Amino acid sequence: MARGEIIRKLFQSFSHNEREGFYAAAMELIQEEKSKNHNLLARDLERILKNGYSKALPASNTLYGNYPEEPKDRETGLSLIDVKLFSLSWDDVILSKDNLEILQRVALENRKQEILEAYGLRPKSKLLFCGPPGCGKTLTSKVLSGVLGIPLAYINLTAVFSSYLGETATNLKKIFDYVENGEWVVLFDEFDAIARDRNTLNEHGEVKRLVNSLLQLIDASSSNSLFIAATNHESLLDNAIWRRFDEIIFFAKPDLKLRKKLLKCYLSRIRYSGINLGDFAAELEEATGADIERICIDTIKTVILRGDQELTHADLTAAVERYLERSRIIVSSGESPEAGACESV
């Protein structure tokens, strides 16, 4: 079948929700790439099609976001895992050059894991994301789901750890039983949820034990997943734990250059001219990515509500002023990035 015809069939079967048709067309495309000796691409596509989707999901609902029912905490009924496939790319997150390089390398190793395995090597599969709130840890995990083409399995650690201690082990087992059935970007978000329960848990040395058993379960996992732990409280982790991650990535508050990029990115949907974003970036020294996003959305709303289409210097100045005032209130209330930090796990 001609390439154009295959692509048409792909689109048609996707929009008609015909899984079998989509699969058949995708396989034809892969065969065509093989016949052209594009073996790396063909293998990559095959891996995404067979492992990324069908391994993770039951046959009837592979492509349309219906995943096996997520396990729940027995006591609270809260879901222990949320699963979603993100269609984000590297353009959706603003990262330092170093972090971007490390992360793209991790993504490449995971995409080409079959080649590495042929040489007896394993891709990097355990990452620790740390750094202050609002600097892109969760967003980057979603981007990895997008670039790898596999769903993000978001683990709600608050739900896992809030129950009785015995129940926590059961919850971890339920999570790993689920994870073993597919290939995912598994995000253990808000590792500091452990810290919140430190008083009860630390009494019995439980926090350390729980983090250890979590890492052991990750090590023992036979799923080709990428595991990420994210925390704002990296000071809680002791040396033994740091060493067990393949990569440790610190998401710092953005520097001047990145703040300017963030402003440009979040203002891209509105017209503006004659505004020097560099000047505003310089004023936002302590701002996080989330702060800058909020400032931009605030400004865009002002313009829309005024019935205008173009942002003015005064609009952006007003939004930055509001942000700075808000920060002053937070600082004077005694809240700081260090608030809530506690002793080492």
Ligand X SMILES: Nc1ncnc2c1ncn2[C@@H]1O[C@H](COP(=O)(O)OP(=O)(O)OP(=O)(O)O)[C@@H](O)[C@H]1O
Query: Can you give the binding site for ligand X, defined by CB under 6 A?
Result: 93-95, 133-139, 232, 251, 262, 289-290, 293
251 binding partner (options ligand X, Mg ion, none; Cβ < 5 to 8 Å by kind) = ligand X
Q: How far apart are CA 326 and CA 320, in angstroms?
A: 10
Sorted by sequence, the CB contacts under 8 Å of residue 323 that are 6+ apart come out as 284, 287, 291, 294, 295, 298
For Mg ion, the closer of residues 67 and 129 by Cβ is 129
Q: Is 156 in the site for Mg ion (CB under 5 A)?
A: no
Q: Is 138 in the site for Mg ion (CB under 5 A)?
A: yes
Please give the size of the binding site for Mg ion, defined by CB under 5 A: 2
Q: How many CB atoms are located within 10 Å of the residue 210 CB?
A: 21
Q: Is 225 in the site for Mg ion (CB under 5 A)?
A: no
160 binding partner (options ligand X, Mg ion, none; Cβ < 5 to 8 Å by kind) = none
For Mg ion, the closer of residues 192 and 197 by Cβ is 192
136 binding partner (options ligand X, Mg ion, none; Cβ < 5 to 8 Å by kind) = ligand X
Taking the complex as a whole, the smallest distance from the CB of residue 251 to Mg ion amounts, in Å, to: 9
For ligand X, the closer of residues 83 and 262 by Cβ is 262
Q: How far apart are CA 3 and CA 45, in angstroms?
A: 15
Q: How far apart are CA 210 and CA 34, in angstroms?
A: 47
Of 209, 80, 232, whose CA–CA distance to 157 is shortest? 80
Residue positions counted in the chain: 345
For ligand X, the closer of residues 275 and 297 by Cβ is 297
For Mg ion, the closer of residues 139 and 201 by Cβ is 139
Q: Is 231 in the site for Mg ion (CB under 5 A)?
A: no
Kindly list the distances between the CA atom of residue 285 and the CA atoms of 138, 184, 281, 320, in Å, as whole numbers in the listed order. 22, 36, 7, 11
Taking the complex as a whole, the smallest distance from the CB of residue 20 to ligand X amounts, in Å, to: 36
Environment class of 14 (CB within 10 Å of its CB; exposed 0-12, middle 13-18, buried 19+): middle
Please give the residue ranges that form the binding site for Mg ion (CB under 5 A): 137-138
